[in-house]
Chain A
Amino acid sequence: MTDEKKTDQKKHDEQLAQLGKTLRSAIPPLGEAQPQRDLWPRMLLRMEGAPKISVRWSPLQWIAGVPWFDWALLSAAGVAMLFFPALIPALLYHL
């Protein structure tokens, strides 16, 4: 590293340290903060309250799980085929 680069780096580090000092004067560091209580009971609640995975397939759940833009794309394709039937062979070709 050249002397010029070293000087620039030193200046940058000093500016950073000064900015950090300014920020810390308004936002005090929290340091080694610890939880006020044991979090394990909350972890147990989280584990008990988690939704169980349904093993039964439901069409309504499946429909609800499809993103809205897929429906929009399907609708656009349907409208296009209705108004421009000549597109159907082109679409089938690309499928």
Chain B
Amino acid sequence: MDLLQRFAAGDLQAFEPLFRQHQREVYGWVLRIVRDPAAAEDLAVETFWRLYQKRERLDPNGNCAAWLRRVATNLAIDHLRRMQPTEFLVAEPAAEERGDCVVQQETRAAIRGAVNELSPKLRSVVQLVLIEEQPQASVAEGLGISLSAVKLRIFRATRILRRKLAERGVRP
């Protein structure tokens, strides 16, 4: 009997090993979306709290990692919705940025600004697929949508991004 089966059957002792088994993965996934370590910790804990609360309705033979990823993604997108667009990515200079000239710094700021202005749903796909280079299939699984829906979101996001970058004088 694996940990999820034990936990779903009511063995609360299985929760801690289950948590330890998946905490890094959930935290890493959420961080890639919210890009804020403190918020990622909160959201990872909240994800496991949902698992704990719904233990009686869990499918003991289901994929725990996929379930956690889907819940974590929804929580992360809700978090992005609550945030002001200006709060996101603004205070996040790239490591190599210190030596940049003003033009390069302005270009980077313009790119961050364009990503900031995307809706949370499109922004999360852009971050996961284009920035973090996660496989589209795993992004689809995490978002709880089909692969073609992920492709459609990428298509829409890239079209908006190109327009916004062009408005800021940046050519991808």
Contacts and interface: CB of A to CB of B under 8 A. Distances in A.
A47 interface: yes
B162 interface: yes
B143 interface: no
B24 A43 contact: no
Contacts of A22: 111, 165, 170, 172
A40 B127 CA distance: 27
Contacts of B109: 26
Contact-residue bracket for chain B? 35 or more
Interface of A: 15-16, 18-20, 22-36, 38-40, 42-43, 46-47, 50
A38 B94 CA distance: 27
A42 B45 contact: yes
Given A19-B161, A28-B94, A33-B32, 8 more contacts: A19-B158, A23-B126, A25-B111, A27-B92, A27-B94, A27-B112, A34-B27, A35-B44
Contacts of B158: 15-16, 19
13 contacts: A15-B158, A23-B111, A23-B115, A23-B161, A26-B94, A27-B131, A31-B132, A32-B28, A35-B40, A38-B23, A46-B49, A47-B52, A50-B49
Nearest to A16: B158
Contacts of B102: none
A42 B35 contact: no
B133 A20 contact: yes
Nearest to B38: A36
Given A23-B115, A34-B24, A40-B19, A46 B94 contact: no
Given A27-B131, A30-B132, A40 B111 contact: no
Contacts of A46: 45-46, 49
Contact of B45 (A15, A24, A43): A43
Contacts of A29: 131-133
Contacts of B48: 43
A40 B23 contact: yes
A63 B46 CA distance: 28
B163 to A, nearest CB: 12
Given A19-B161, A25-B108, A36 B130 contact: no
Contacts of B111: 22-23, 25-27
B123 to A, nearest CB: 11
A27 B115 contact: yes
